Amino acid sequence: MKKYNVAVMGATGVVGTCFLNILAEREFPIKNLKLLASERSKGKSLRFAGKLYPVEILTHDSFKDVDIVLASAGASRSLEFLPSAVKAGAICVDNSSAFRMDKDVPLVVPEVNPEKIKENKGIIANPNCSTIQMVVALWPIHKAAKIKRIVVTTFQSVSGAGQKKITELWEQSKIFLAKEKVTPIELPHQIAFNLIPQIDVFLDNGYTKEEMKMVNETRKIMGDDSIQVNATCVRVPVFFAHSESVNIETEKPISPKEAKALLSKAEGVTLIDDPEHGSYPMPIFAEGKDDTFVGRIRKDESVQNGLSMWVVADNIRKGAALNAIQIAERLIK
């Protein structure tokens, strides 16, 4: 089997670490592995498949002989360095928002629009985590009944915002339980034992950037600009896995029973829907798993053709590293 030279940009971060775990788990055919991060990681080594690899400082010359770049070092690093990677002949799967809405860059969720991968000109964008799990759950329903409108509220774990926010929830929880004063450092407010209805910055229309990512990315991935999306994104004191309350209105009628039948055989979806026995998806169950979990499917009785559901996935796996590696796997196939 052909093997590839792979570079992981942002290898020391939450997503980068997950990239390394999943590459090893899925036995991605790697010839040489290059780990890239900032000056702060100078001298560090990371373990991959039982071997230690040095972390190198990211520069424009980092991409010589690299075939595939898996990028998760933030949007400004992607904007600055991925053009150099493409120039050096690499194909980049980018986890940041830098190129997602660029019309020349495919925005891909393999369960939904894998055919777009071949249109790449060197960069393929990985969507935002909240968008990915929602479209995985909604795509089979959209194909059957055409979704006209989506109203979504997210419950996003702190890991979505990086390592420092994971530490912040951990530290604040200890301080709060010790009945001492909590002082937020990384997040705009206390996150322990609280909810923050703000993810990323506010825009002129009153929505946050995260909310508008969900609107625009959903339309691009599902290839339908007519879908109306209204999102509210909330940070919750959970370490891993994002949850979403999703309400949809469809053009054609579709019953909860029909939706469950479609989702029970949909790629990348596990249906957990037995509320009478207390069975529905939850973050503690989704953490560390690959699938998107859907449950609480019920008719929206306030409109003619509507459904409500609850969608949970590991935001660092399916929401970031796994989705990108699934794209890379299809690329090399």
- Catalytic residue (one of 92, 129, 142, 233): 129
Which residues form the interface with ligand NAP (CB under 6 A)? 10-16, 37-38, 40-41, 58, 72-75, 77, 95-96, 126, 128-129, 160, 162-163, 319-320
The DSSP symbol for 58 reads: P
124 is an interface residue for ligand 3JN by CB under 6 A: no
Burial class (CB in 10 A: 0-12, 13-18, 19+), 84: middle
Distance CA 165, CA 162 (A): 6
135 is an interface residue for ligand 3JN by CB under 6 A: no
CA dist list (Å): 259 to 9, 224, 253, 264: 39, 20, 10, 8
> In angstroms, what is the minimal distance from the CB of 163 to ligand NAP?
4
Residue closer to ligand 3JN by CB (options 168, 249) is: 168
| Alpha-carbon dihedral 315, 287, 15, 41, rounded to 10 degrees | 140
In the bound state, the residue with its beta carbon closest to ligand NAP is 13
Distance CA 178, CA 194 (A): 16
Distance CA 17, CA 286 (A): 18
10 interface partner picked from ligand NAP, ligand 3JN, none, CB below 5 to 8 A per type: ligand NAP
> In angstroms, what is the minimal distance from the CB of 144 to ligand NAP?
27
- Near ligand 3JN by CB under 6 A: residue from 10, 16, 140, 160: 160
Q: What pairs with residue 68 in β-bridges?
A: 6, 91
15 interface partner picked from ligand NAP, ligand 3JN, none, CB below 5 to 8 A per type: ligand NAP
CA dist list (Å): 249 to 24, 141, 232, 236, 308: 41, 11, 17, 27, 9
> In angstroms, what is the minimal distance from the CB of 182 to ligand NAP?
22
> In angstroms, what is the minimal distance from the CB of 98 to ligand NAP?
8
Residue 18 known to be catalytic: no
- Catalytic residue (one of 92, 142, 233, 242): 242
Residue 129 known to be catalytic: yes
CA dist list (Å): 56 to 40, 45, 69, 89, 104: 10, 9, 14, 20, 30
Tokens representing 292?
A: 């998107």
Burial class (CB in 10 A: 0-12, 13-18, 19+), 185: exposed
40 interface partner picked from ligand 3JN, ligand NAP, none, CB below 5 to 8 A per type: ligand NAP
75 is an interface residue for ligand 3JN by CB under 6 A: yes
97 is an interface residue for ligand 3JN by CB under 6 A: yes
96 is an interface residue for ligand 3JN by CB under 6 A: yes
Stretch that binds ligand 3JN, among 5-13, 34-42, 56-64, 154-162 (CB under 6 A): 154-162
Q: Phi/psi at 67 (nearest 5 deg)?
A: -90, -45
Active site residues: 129, 242
